[in-house]
Amino acid sequence: MRNALTRAETMLRAACGERLRTSFPMVPLTTFRIGGPAALYLEPESDRDLAAVSEAVRETAIDVVVIGKGSNVLVSDLGFDGLVLRLGRRFRWTGRDGDRLTGGGAMPLPALSGVALSHGLAGLEFAVAIPASLGGAVKMNAGAHGLSLADVVERVDVYLLQEGRVAPIPAAAAGFSYRRTTLPQGAVVTGATLRLVRGDRAEIRSLMDDAREWRRRTQPLAEPNCGSVFKNPEGDHAARLIEAAGGKGTWVGGAAISGKHANFIVAGEGACATDVVTLIRRVQDLVEARFGIHLEPEVRFVGDFDLAPR
């Protein structure tokens, strides 16, 4: 792996220069604010950069992870022994054609919701308080208040790293389901087209205010966390199950189940990724022992967690 990383670094350095970083700290890039460094880190600014990444990945077979705003990511304390990509500023753009709103993969979802409001377009109010980029939100089919990206996405634009080409994918072929898609492995979401509807700006703004207030009231926004840790089982809520199983207030090291919302883990002073993953396993055991339900994590694990105690 070390030889492969060295070769990939040489290739990407030739294409991207000093924009390629090594041993890059991931702590500032995730909302958990914990975890080790990325061996290689790049913010692609164009399809040309992604083509260089594609060539390096196909030749060296190094591991690649794409992150957006880092709101559903837990990075191992050991870091990530591969390449981390985060789309750069040139992928942060918007456009409008009638009731269609387009955006680049790096566009923050709350900002895109604001653009929709400015044009009097309804349908994206639920996303105004989701701390994600458009690319990340599409990839995991982010949602809130009973709605998700699948309800508004018409087309997804991706760069296929394994094939070295751009591909538009109709929403029907993206495999949207609860908190996931079936986009091809190595697909970087570079943009998306959303189909919205004309609406009254005052009503749109009111729904957005309600969504923001609900999040402020129910979630631990002032503490480092990754958002919802577990997916909701069909017909139930992870938070209810965790609280009923006695998990609320449980802690490991510096990580604790939030007293405000049982499906949130907050990282306190001195917390590390091992604390969080150990707490996740403990909560899974509690709920499974009480209800016979295995909670599936919504958070993405980046790096090696094999050394974390079970």
Tell me, yes or no, whether 245 and 225 share the same domain.
yes
Q: What is the mean pLDDT of residues 159-188?
A: 95
Q: How far apart are CA 83 and CA 85, in angstroms?
A: 6
Q: What is the pLDDT of residues 199-234, one digit of tens each?
A: 999 999 999 999 999 999 999 999 999 999 999 999
Identify whether 18 is a catalytic site residue: no
Single out the residue in 197, 217, 237 at which a domain terminates.
217
Q: Residue 163 contacts by C-beta under 8 Å, 6 or more apart in sequence? A: 54
How many CB atoms neighbour CB 114 within 10 A?
Answer: 15
Q: Residue 35 contacts by C-beta under 8 Å, 6 or more apart in sequence? A: 26, 27, 74, 75, 76, 77, 79, 273, 302, 303
Tell me, yes or no, whether 272 and 240 share the same domain.
yes
What's the confidence (pLDDT) of residue 309? 45
Domain-embedded: residue 143: yes
Count how many residues are written for the chain. Answer: 310
Q: What is the pLDDT of residues 115-158, one digit of tens each?
A: 999 999 999 999 999 999 999 999 999 999 999 999 999 999 99
What's the confidence (pLDDT) of residue 72? 92
What's the confidence (pLDDT) of residue 197? 98
C-beta separation of 183 from 174 below 8 A: yes
Burial of 234 (0-12, 13-18, 19+ CB in 10 A): exposed
pTM assigned to the model: 0.94
pLDDT band, residue 310 (cuts 50/70/90): very low
Where does residue 226 fall: left (phi above 0), alpha (psi -120 to 50 degrees), or beta otherwise?
Answer: alpha
Q: Residue 134 contacts by C-beta under 8 Å, 6 or more apart in sequence? A: 68, 103, 104, 105, 106, 107, 108, 109, 112, 189, 191, 192
Q: Could you tell me what percent of the chain has a pLDDT over 70?
A: 98
C-beta separation of 273 from 252 below 8 A: no
Q: What is the pLDDT of residues 273-307, one digit of tens each?
A: 999 999 999 999 999 999 999 999 999 999 998 75
Tell me, yes or no, whether 174 and 246 share the same domain.
no
Q: Residues of 74-94 as b/e, b for ≥16 C-beta within 10 angstroms?
A: bbbbbbbbbbbbbbbeebbeb
Residue with token string 């697909």: 187
Tell me, yes or no, whether 16 and 56 share the same domain.
yes
Tell me, yes or no, whether 172 and 266 share the same domain.
no
Residue with token string 């087209």: 193
193 is in which domain, residue-wise?
92-217
Tell me, yes or no, whether 231 and 295 share the same domain.
yes
Q: Which two tokens stand for residue 203?
A: 């009503």
Q: Which two tokens stand for residue 45?
A: 């600014």
How many CB atoms neighbour CB 203 within 10 A?
Answer: 12
Identify whether 76 is a catalytic site residue: no
Q: How far apart are CA 47 and CA 165, in angstroms?
A: 9
Tell me, yes or no, whether 96 and 213 share the same domain.
yes
Residue 1, pLDDT > 70, answer no
Residue 239, pLDDT > 60, answer yes
C-beta separation of 153 from 171 below 8 A: yes
Which residue in the list 9, 43, 125, 298 is annotated as catalytic?
298
Tell me, yes or no, whether 27 and 53 share the same domain.
yes
Identify whether 298 is a catalytic site residue: yes
Q: What is the pLDDT of residues 5-33, one digit of tens each?
A: 999 999 999 999 999 999 999 999 999 99
Residue 54, pLDDT > 60, answer yes
Domain-embedded: residue 96: yes
Q: What is the mean pLDDT of residues 225-244?
A: 96
Tell me, yes or no, whether 230 and 134 share the same domain.
no
Residue 133 maps to which CATH number? Answer: 3.30.465.10
Q: Residues of 286-304 as b/e, b for ≥16 C-beta within 10 angstroms?
A: bbeeeeeeebebbbbbbbe
- Helices 2-16, 47-60: crossing angle, 10 deg rounding: 160
Domain-embedded: residue 149: yes
Element (H, E) at 146: none
Domain-embedded: residue 307: no
Which residue in the list 13, 19, 100, 179 is annotated as catalytic?
179
